[in-house]
Chains A and B, each alone.
Chain A
Amino acid sequence: MIWNDDFETLPREAIESLQLKRLQQTLEKVYATVPFYRDSFTKAGIKPADIKSLNDLQNLPFTLKQDMRDSYPYGLFAAPLEQIVRIHASSGTTGKPTVVGYTRRDIDNWTELMARSFVAAGTNQGDIIHNAYGYGLFTGGLGAHYGAERVGASVIPMSGGNTKKQLMIMQDFGSTVLTCTPSYSLYLAEVAAEEGIDIRKLKLKVGILGAEPWSEKMRQEIEAKLNIKAIDIYGLSEILGPGVGIECIEAQNGLHIWEDHFIPEIINPETGEVLPDGEKGELVITTITKEGIPLIRYRTRDITRLFKEPCICGRTHARIERLSGRSDDMLIIRGVNVFPSQIESVLFNVDGVEPHYQLIVDRDGNLDTLEVQVEVNEQTFSDEIKVLQGLSNKIRKDIKDLLGVTCKIRLVEPKTITRSEGKAKRVIDNRQQES
């Protein structure tokens, strides 16, 4: 099923000519209304009229998350506050949050893109959508909510937390679609098991999961434990919130980026040069319909590939590979780049090991240390020390083989690693406090 046939299946040439037209309008608008862009374009020696093809986009300077922080709260808004009908903000664990304003038309477009996303994920009118994304400054809750309503599904605005009640509602209301972070879906399954609820037997059929990077192995685990199709959704609050891209249920192979609203590029994060389709690098997004806070060449810090081959679902919009990590999450351990998702994939390949883990990074003298905490469960536990040490050794060796990093494995008691109701906290980096 496709929500908006006219736009979702546009031939590539039509997508690109629409993109160019909308890009040029956006550039004129930001140049005229946002001092930040006027300055940065001027510094680069470029005027909006110089952008004559999509290829010229690469001559424009990047916009960074730091630029958004520097313009806190409203500095990058291109529309006057009288036209802003909603304000969201990122969590901003360090320093000020990044603030995003939406005009009425922005909300309408966002709702449209979330509606497309729900339908691409195989949900429709008649579905009961259990929305466990947080409602509030975080974009997840309200973004999913509006899209679900537009599709005509029944939305349960659960928000995060209160897990036992979530399970009760899920059973009693007959929820068919779950929207939350991947780690929270597993936590729901775990609490269900403790409560004696067979979550596999509930009416849930699809999970639309996002807001944190997760591995293919984790998807298999979620699909098996909850007996659902787990669909990856992509978004970031700076650009829109959820619904920037989504996997279609037909292929579950890459996330379609809604190209009539965004122009994706992949760059080399070190040099900034644009990479050819198919090469791995940092995703850069330009918004071409946003009014409240249009972003030009925004560096998402997400690492992925872009590919434009037609999809079996019929959609023509380009796809990005599932995220292998956010460059922010990347740890440098003794000079080696390590993504938590890589360690996750190692753990998933060890029989019986559960997806609950935490990485503790520290510094011993001048040497970085990495400790991987893994929960022991009744499947991996043994009454013999040598068996447990064998488990530790296997994990350590597999990590060393894959990443070239030596780490310490600490087996910990079950349920001692904090469960998250939103984004899972996978890394504790104690080095930052010292430097």
Chain B
Amino acid sequence: MKVEQISIFIENKSGRLAEVTGVLGKTGINIRALSLADTSDFGILRLIVDDSQKALKVLREQRFTVSITEVIGIEVPDSPGGLTSILQLLDQHNVNVEYMYAFAERVGNNAIIIFRFDNVDEAISALSSHGVKILPSERITSI
């Protein structure tokens, strides 16, 4: 259920982002979803790709600072209040969202949102027991 997210440290220098995506593109790695968190000096690029281990390897070879983080992809009803119901459920189980970002595409009537939690396992059990759909990782990387 857990998905491997690639996180990359990026200094705020022009062209640095393009270097990351260039390395991935050349190696035939496809980016499925991304989020960029930034401060005045540096940013953290978070990516869901179709082959995370390969991405990790090529980025390390190019001397990027990279780590793999476990996140989960959740199907969220694509209707008003859809996200709220999920967040409330997590709150009741004392799981904190560290950050989240959305996939551009939908699955059926649902939007896909990637979540990073402080306690992934607790989140998975809380969500599953309440019938919230968590996408299998192979589904996510092949969207």
How far is B69's CA from A382's CA once the two chains are assembled, in angstroms? 9
Kindly list chain A residues whose C-beta atoms are within 8 Å of the C-beta of B63: 413-415
Q: Are A413 and B39 in contact (CB under 8 A)?
A: no
Q: Are B65 and A383 in contact (CB under 8 A)?
A: no
Kindly list chain A residues whose C-beta atoms are within 8 Å of the C-beta of B39: 385, 388-389
Q: With A413-B64, A414-B63 as given contacts, are A383 and B11 in contact (CB-CB < 8 Å)?
A: no
Q: Are A376 and B46 in contact (CB under 8 A)?
A: no
Main secondary structure of the interface of A (DSSP, over half): loop
Chain A, residues 392-435, CB within 8 Å of chain B (1/0): the string is 00000000000000000011111110000000000000000000
How far is B67's CA from A412's CA once the two chains are assembled, in angstroms? 16
Q: With A411-B42, A412-B11 as given contacts, are A381 and B65 in contact (CB-CB < 8 Å)?
A: yes
Chain B, residues 18-46, CB within 8 Å of chain A (1/0): the string is 00000000000000000001010110101
Is there a chain B Cβ closer than 8 Å to A309's Cβ?
no
Partner of B67, one of A383, A385, A389, A414: A383
Q: Are B67 and A382 in contact (CB under 8 A)?
A: yes
Q: Are B7 and A383 in contact (CB under 8 A)?
A: yes
Q: With A376-B65, A378-B67, A413-B9 as given contacts, are A385 and B41 in contact (CB-CB < 8 Å)?
A: no
Nearest residue, chain A, Cβ from B43: A385
* Chain A interface bracket (under 10, 10 to 19, 20 to 34, 35 or more): 10 to 19
Among B9, B44, B98: residue with most chain A CB under 10 A? B9
Q: Are A383 and B5 in contact (CB under 8 A)?
A: yes
Q: Are A388 and B116 in contact (CB under 8 A)?
A: no
Give, as a whole number of angstroms, the nearest-CB distance from B72 to chain A: 14
Q: Are A411 and B37 in contact (CB under 8 A)?
A: no
Q: Are B44 and A385 in contact (CB under 8 A)?
A: yes
Nearest residue, chain A, Cβ from B116: A383
Q: Are B44 and A383 in contact (CB under 8 A)?
A: yes
How far is B76's CA from A234's CA once the two chains are assembled, in angstroms? 67
How far is B9's CA from A415's CA once the two chains are assembled, in angstroms? 13
How far is B99's CA from A416's CA once the two chains are assembled, in angstroms? 29
Kindly list chain B residues whose C-beta atoms are within 8 Å of the C-beta of A378: 65-67
How far is B44's CA from A382's CA once the two chains are assembled, in angstroms? 9
Is there a chain B Cβ closer than 8 Å to A377's Cβ?
yes
Nearest residue, chain A, Cβ from B10: A413
Q: Are A414 and B116 in contact (CB under 8 A)?
A: no
Give, as a whole number of angstroms, the nearest-CB distance from B70 to chain A: 10
Kindly list chain A residues whose C-beta atoms are within 8 Å of the C-beta of B65: 376-378, 381, 413-414
Nearest residue, chain B, Cβ from A416: B11
Is there a chain B Cβ closer than 8 Å to A384's Cβ?
yes
Nearest residue, chain A, Cβ from B41: A410
Kindly list chain B residues whose C-beta atoms are within 8 Å of the C-beta of A385: 37, 39, 44
From 72 to 127 in chain A, residues with beta carbon under 8 angstroms from any chain B beta carbon are: none
Give, as a whole number of angstroms, the nearest-CB distance from A352 to chain B: 12
Chain A, residues 18-54, CB within 8 Å of chain B (1/0): the string is 0000000000000000000000000000000000000
Kindly list chain A residues whose C-beta atoms are within 8 Å of the C-beta of B10: 413
Q: Are A411 and B41 in contact (CB under 8 A)?
A: yes
Q: Are A413 and B11 in contact (CB under 8 A)?
A: yes
Give, as a whole number of angstroms, the nearest-CB distance from A336 to chain B: 24
Kindly list chain A residues whose C-beta atoms are within 8 Å of the C-beta of B67: 378, 381-383
Q: Are B9 and A381 in contact (CB under 8 A)?
A: yes
Give, as a whole number of angstroms, the nearest-CB distance from A360 to chain B: 13
How far is B64's CA from A382's CA once the two chains are assembled, in angstroms? 13
How far is B67's CA from A152's CA once the two chains are assembled, in angstroms? 50
Among A377, A378, A383, A389: residue with most chain B CB under 10 A? A383
How far is B46's CA from A376's CA once the two chains are assembled, in angstroms? 17
Among B7, B11, B65, B98: residue with most chain A CB under 10 A? B65
From 63 to 121 in chain B, residues with beta carbon under 8 angstroms from any chain A beta carbon are: 63-67, 69, 98-99, 116
Nearest 10 interchain pairs by C-beta = A383-B7, A383-B69, A381-B65, A385-B37, A376-B9, A413-B11, A381-B9, A410-B41, A376-B65, A411-B42
Other A-B contacts than A378-B67, A383-B7, A416-B11, 14 sampled, CB-CB below 8 A, are: A376-B9, A381-B7, A382-B7, A383-B46, A383-B67, A383-B116, A384-B116, A385-B39, A388-B39, A388-B42, A413-B10, A413-B11, A413-B63, A413-B65
| Interface residues, chain A, with chain B CB atoms under 8 Å away | 376-378, 381-385, 388-389, 410-416
| Interface residues, chain B, with chain A CB atoms under 8 Å away | 5, 7, 9-11, 37, 39, 41-42, 44, 46, 63-67, 69, 98-99, 116
8 A-B residue pairings within 8 Å (CB atoms): A376-B65, A378-B66, A381-B9, A383-B67, A384-B44, A385-B37, A388-B42, A413-B11
